[in-house]
Amino acid sequence: MTAVPPSFSDPVRAGPPPLRTGSGTEAPEAAGSPVPPRPTAEGEPLRRSGCRPRRRAPGTDPRAEPSDTLRFLRSWRAAPLQVAAIAPSGPALAALITSEIGTRHAPVLELGPGTGVFTRALIARGLAPEDLALVELDDTFAGLLRTRFPEAQILQMSAARLRGLSLFDGRKAGAAVSGLGLLSMSPRTVMAILSGTFAHLRPGAAFYQFTYGPRCPVPRPVLDRLGLEARRIGGTLRNLPPASVYRIARRPSAPQGPFAQHGH
């Protein structure tokens, strides 16, 4: 009996239509058996999506909410001279500006805390929130700080009007941290901020200020008039933009008089 060869006239069953990926290429799949994700070099499956993973900008704080950057941008657009940055400072700058501050410096005064990046760094170094006084002029940032740090003392006011204010039940602060944009301020305003702040600092305490510029943001005539000296303690390229930090303190031979004579 002769075997009948298979017929080539039978129609071939068509498979499922090819799937179109987000990149525009086509990848066929067999019915009922989806193609498994292609592993990456680290062994994790690669998501089959047209969207690439979003990369975080270098120098930004990974703990900061995406809305924090939007808050900074909106505040900067509304008052560019008052808000001297369009994004929160990064963790590297926060670590640098608080690197010399510990629990022995409590209480601590912070000027222009914004969304609280430096505040978090101070708390991470052991300072209790109730030992922090945060001076913030912007209404949006002040409200955010009250929510995030309810135990801290939030003062919605200009840092140039600190003189005569009662802080920490009369105790003197052991350090001050500033996120203010001093370069955009007049020498008169900078002098009022420094003299008012040092009136609340105990002997030996320092004022820590960061800047995006190549030199100390406090003009030399202002330092001389107030009997202060500035020393750069370091810089970081892991911030956007790169920044330096200065430690401003009373000169050893400086009298206390200048801080009682200058106001705003």
DSSP assignment string, 107-158: SEEEE--TTTHHHHHHHHTT--GGGEEEE---HHHHHHHHHH-TTSEEE-S-
Residue 160 carries which DSSP code? G
| pLDDT of residue 42 exceeding 50 | no
What is d(CA 42, CA 119) in angstroms, rounded to the nearest whole number? Answer: 36
Residue of 159, 155, 209 whose CA lies nearest to 183: 209
| pLDDT of residue 168 exceeding 50 | yes
Angstrom distances, CA of residue 263 to CA of 161, 196, 225? 8, 7, 13
What is the per-residue pLDDT for 57? 45
Mean pLDDT of 97-115: 97
Mean pLDDT of 91-104: 97
Residue labelled with tokens 């805390």: 113
pLDDT band at 240 (very low <50, low <70, confident <90, very high): confident
What is the per-residue pLDDT for 231? 98
The residue extents of the domains of the chain are: 89-261
Strand order in the sheet with 173-178: 153-155, 132-135, 108-111, 173-178, 201-211, 243-250, 228-236
| 8 A C-beta contact, residue 69 and residue 88 | yes
What is the per-residue pLDDT for 11? 47
What is the per-residue pLDDT for 67? 74
Burial of 164 (0-12, 13-18, 19+ CB in 10 A): exposed
| 8 A C-beta contact, residue 155 and residue 137 | no
- pLDDT tens for each residue of 109-120: 999 999 999 999
User: Both tokens of residue 83?
Assistant: 């808000």
- pLDDT tens for each residue of 142-161: 999 999 999 999 999 999 99
What is d(CA 129, CA 121) in angstroms, rounded to the nearest whole number? Answer: 11
pLDDT band at 75 (very low <50, low <70, confident <90, very high): low
CATH classification code of 89-261: 3.40.50.150
| 8 A C-beta contact, residue 122 and residue 151 | no
C-alpha dihedral over 80, 84, 86, 88, to 10 degrees?
A: -150
Q: Which is more confidently placed, 256 or 182?
A: 182
Residue of 238, 253, 250, 193 whose CA lies nearest to 217: 193
Burial of 252 (0-12, 13-18, 19+ CB in 10 A): exposed
Q: Which is more confidently placed, 106 or 40?
A: 106
**What is the percent of the chain where pLDDT is above 70?**
63
What is d(CA 127, CA 58) in angstroms, rounded to the nearest whole number? Answer: 27
What is the per-residue pLDDT for 89? 76
The three-point CA angle 61-63-66 to 5° equals 80
